[in-house]
Amino acid sequence: MIDVHAHLTDNSYSDLPEVLKRAKEAGLEHIIISITDPSEIGRAREVLAIMPGFISLNVGFDPMTLSEEKYRDFERLVESEHIVGVGEVGLDHFYARDHGIRDLQEQFFRRSIRLAMRRELPLVVHSRSAGRAALEVLYSEGADRVLMHAFDGKSGDARMAAERGFYFSIPTSVVYSQQKQKLVKNLPLESLMLETDSPVLSPIRGVRNEPANLIYALKKVAEIKGVTEEEVVKITTWNAKNFFRL
Ligand SMILES: [Zn+2]
């Protein structure tokens, strides 16, 4: 199985070699890490070097950053680094309450979408409290290689996006989140991937998350879908490899 979304550059991972070892022992074959600020690139390169071939990189832009200078740095990294996707990028209406800020977020999001399409890279989208708004921006830009990560919007909106070929990565918090469980019920396995969003969205509240915990998301998805864990691994892994061209 593949953890398609983890922030292993986070400074809570002082024990990273052990974290990666536990991930391998838990049966993970690959991890995709995501940075959301250009300043994390140095640490990301160090993380990639710990287990070459086991980890790939996505470069994103935190929706709350809203800095032209930082955006240019992000753009430069997308143009120059060896990456498998652009993300996470998107909208965050949970933190951005003000309309001016939301408009500015949308402008950066649209530019990020065009950048990914120009580079022929897939998009990983953050859409906290902005599920439908983010989908509408993606539709209007004609984006078609899209992974909605930890989607917290309505299942009906998700299903319409899945019909257009968008993917959804189900985080480890699916063990207790009824909204995520509903999402799994309403989407076909063919549209799903698995993620931890480490260090957050832990299956055990209040505890640092890590890729080895992906097994909890796997078990819950298998239970909801009424299929074997092997079947979930097979389909979600294929989806991830195909989407990120791993
Ligand atoms: Zn994330």
Tell me: the pLDDT tens digits for 134-153?
Answer: 999 999 999 999 999 999 99
What pLDDT, on the 0 to 100 scale, is given for residue 123? 98
Q: Number of structural domains, the chain?
A: 1
Give residue 107 CA to ligand 1 midpoint distance, Å: 20
- Reading the block at residue 69, the tokens are 């200078």
Give residue 187 CA to ligand 1 midpoint distance, Å: 21
Give residue 111 CA to ligand 1 midpoint distance, Å: 19
Phi then psi for residue 52, to 5 deg, are -55, 135
What pLDDT, on the 0 to 100 scale, is given for residue 168? 98
Residues 180-216: pLDDT tens digits? Answer: 999 999 999 999 999 999 999 999 999 999 999 999 9
CATH number at residue 229: 3.20.20.140
Place of tokens 């708004």: 133
Average pLDDT in the 80-94 region? 97
User: Could you list the residue range(s) of the whole structural domain that residue 21 is in?
Assistant: 2-244
Is cis: bond before 88, omega within 30 of 0?
Answer: yes
Residue percentage of the chain with pLDDT more than 70: 100
What pLDDT, on the 0 to 100 scale, is given for residue 36? 97
Give residue 60 CA to ligand 1 midpoint distance, Å: 9
Place of tokens 């480890």: 172
What pLDDT, on the 0 to 100 scale, is given for residue 23? 98
Give residue 201 CA to ligand 1 midpoint distance, Å: 9
Give residue 156 CA to ligand 1 midpoint distance, Å: 23
Residue percentage of the chain with pLDDT more than 90: 99
Give residue 76 CA to ligand 1 midpoint distance, Å: 21
Give residue 165 CA to ligand 1 midpoint distance, Å: 21
Average pLDDT in the 56-81 region? 97
Supply the pTM of this predicted model.
0.97
Place of tokens 């593949």: 2
